[in-house]
Structure 1
């Protein structure tokens, strides 16, 4: 089993030689941290000065990590990867907006994705970020139990209404919805709101999933607490497990404001925490459904092992593996080829609007030890394999 994710022929079957070469060049550049920093500054400056860089962005980093500029644009990717048994989570990746019109736009996008999902077996989930429906400051203020002004109370009522609309629609259309996790200082409020949605809409099966970032040392306590609530109140729990995406920001803020960082002290602790959460979820599948979002091969093997030990069939609907589009194809396509449920997060949005997401993607790849190197290693291996087979 340990060599499963080394099968590059399966992993890159959908990539032409040109696609493979483009990915090679991109990951080669991303493997050089100073270049990522310079590139990030250049892109931000170029967009600020309205320089014509949109086409360059689209042909490189955008095409690697995004499915298109809108939902319809993504359908080509959705259909192609589904031929290999890999499903899609369409993710509207426009970030950092903080006005009501944008929140309403994000709501409409999410509802449209639910409609898409209802009609297509290849799209089993919808997804949204809590801050796409309301200001992060508002979540934070609620979490601190500060008094809201009358205007803020109206704002918060609108946030709740957006959550309700999405979860109610998802329930009616029988489409599961993944709710992403964000910064710790707003997450408590988001957790409470998602809990309310689970109580309402997860009575018969899991429709609503909360995302749990296991680089936080307190998240096992959260899992146990929500499990206890579900048992006593009679609802199911949907959990999307990830390691986390805001580590630098979390640590910096904790240092600036002089409180203990919510992040585990080491990568090893995070890995152990993640695998412990996998174990806990699988041990409680009578209540939990699991979406394991991971690019970590060891954790993927561990989940496979847990399923085998519990005699759980590979396509059990309560267990999904998930990776980001443009990354870890060696995991996604090899798992799908063996009958496991796999979904790729496929981000979309106007090129300029998704630049913050793309920059974060590039920075995360350089921050995670070995991630870019592993992608490169597998691409090089496949290029060599193709060269040999053509000789």
Structure 2
């Protein structure tokens, strides 16, 4: 039987947090719960960084250290080791965004290869992650998705992207490290999907190494998975899927309105939740063919996964099922699941403070828009503070 009060256990949830870290977390989520404060804080931080004001230490001591592991892989090691004492693995996420030059894509490739080697022989780090646009120009993916004919130069550029994907997946296969490839905007995603599928055909023959991402606020994604499943069965390869609700909803809706096409986004939150849960059911019904990384902060979806695993007699330790949450959020889910013996990993963003700020700002804005998430964090932090006082 699933314990329905599992996620109320704040002693387990915050076991790694000192009293001062607990206070900092409470302060940060209190700030994030206020939209005007987030807007002011974002503008002030951007200005201070652009003006080269000495604010990096302040950022590092507050929001950065709460949501990020460090400025480099080595800097993240204390966080990685600490999490693993409670059975929580780590996925290092190099969160530097918005690059567009070939040398920057090559640098991103070298960074991911370095992380894979860094993972080797570290039980606490079985998984790496990268974004397709980290390895090539967004507009090139968009052209491929739209079926626009590429120039000779663009063809050569696309081959370099394919090669970067291949080099990463090949090394990951050699080192037995799983690779999660993030989902992005719908108008470039078809090209990324095709490329990831090709990597699955090459490297997912016996076990699952390569994972694509389904953003399930898109109403077409379950059908895509079913079609992919048929191709995988016909061709003899395994599917890896990270499932998430999604990260570009407003942008997707605005573009659909502007360009005059039907939005690919589910009509409301309930439809998104239903889509996520139906996809989860489909995968756990077909676990011999599809491995899953369940990226969610939604408690109901976690309980559903646990119930389905119990119904289908899927072991908690089965490597084909992972739960994942972001570092600095939903510790009540991560640590309580890990304490029960499930496979759990935290996404740990890292990189130079200035370069990671766009990521941190997006986190703050997302939390502001999902008020239920922030108030849940605050309620649990308050409960743990009360428990420690008693």
Name the TM tier (shorter chain). Answer: over 0.9
CA distance in 1 between partners of 2:303 and 2:168 (Å): 34
CA distance in 2 between partners of 1:99 and 1:44 (Å): 23
Aligned to 1:235: 237
CA distance in 2 between partners of 1:7 and 1:105 (Å): 42
Flag as ranges the 4+ runs of structure 1 deviating above 4 A.
none
CA deviations over 1:226-279 (Å, ceiling 9, x no partner): 110111110000000000011111111111111111111100000000000110
Q: CA deviation at 1:317?
A: 0.9
The alignment status of 1:49 with 2:51, answered yes or no, reads yes
Aligned to 2:222: 220
CA distance in 2 between partners of 1:354 and 1:294 (Å): 22
SS at match of 1:119: coil
CA deviations over 1:304-327 (Å, ceiling 9, x no partner): 000011111111111000000000
Aligned to 1:60: 62
Q: CA deviation at 1:37?
A: 1.4
Q: CA deviation at 1:172?
A: 1.2
Q: Out of 124, 127, 134, which is 1:125 matched to?
A: 127
CA distance in 2 between partners of 1:80 and 1:30 (Å): 26
CA distance in 1 between partners of 2:311 and 2:150 (Å): 50
CA deviations over 1:147-177 (Å, ceiling 9, x no partner): 2122212211111110000011111111110
Q: CA deviation at 1:55?
A: 1.4
CA distance in 1 between partners of 2:218 and 2:145 (Å): 17
**How many residue pairs are counted as aligned between the two chains?**
388
CA distance in 2 between partners of 1:379 and 1:362 (Å): 17
Match runs of 1:1-80 below 5 Å? 1-80=3-82
Q: Out of 283, 286, 289, which is 1:287 matched to?
A: 289
CA distance in 2 between partners of 1:365 and 1:330 (Å): 16
Q: CA deviation at 1:100?
A: 1.1
CA distance in 1 between partners of 2:280 and 2:260 (Å): 32
Provide the aligned C-alpha RMSD in A.
0.8
SS at match of 1:51: coil
Aligned to 2:182: 180
SS at match of 2:120: helix
Q: Out of 149, 152, 161, which is 2:151 matched to?
A: 149
CA distance in 2 between partners of 1:203 and 1:369 (Å): 43
CA distance in 2 between partners of 1:260 and 1:38 (Å): 34
Q: Out of 294, 297, 301, which is 2:303 matched to?
A: 301
CA deviations over 1:171-212 (Å, ceiling 9, x no partner): 111111000001111111100000000001001110000010
Q: TM-score with structure 2 length normalisation?
A: 0.98
CA contact (8 A) 2:29 2:374 kept: yes
CA distance in 1 between partners of 2:260 and 2:72 (Å): 42
Q: Out of 317, 326, 329, which is 1:327 matched to?
A: 329
CA distance in 1 between partners of 2:308 and 2:150 (Å): 46
Q: CA deviation at 1:125?
A: 0.3
Q: TM-score with structure 1 length normalisation?
A: 0.98
CA distance in 2 between partners of 1:153 and 1:46 (Å): 41
More deviation, 53-62/343-352: 53-62
CA distance in 1 between partners of 2:365 and 2:220 (Å): 25
CA distance in 1 between partners of 2:223 and 2:135 (Å): 27
CA distance in 2 between partners of 1:215 and 1:49 (Å): 38
Aligned to 1:348: 350
**Unmatched segments (≥5 aa) in structure 1:** none
More deviation, 359-368/79-88: 359-368
**Unmatched segments (≥5 aa) in structure 2:** none
Q: CA deviation at 1:369?
A: 3.7
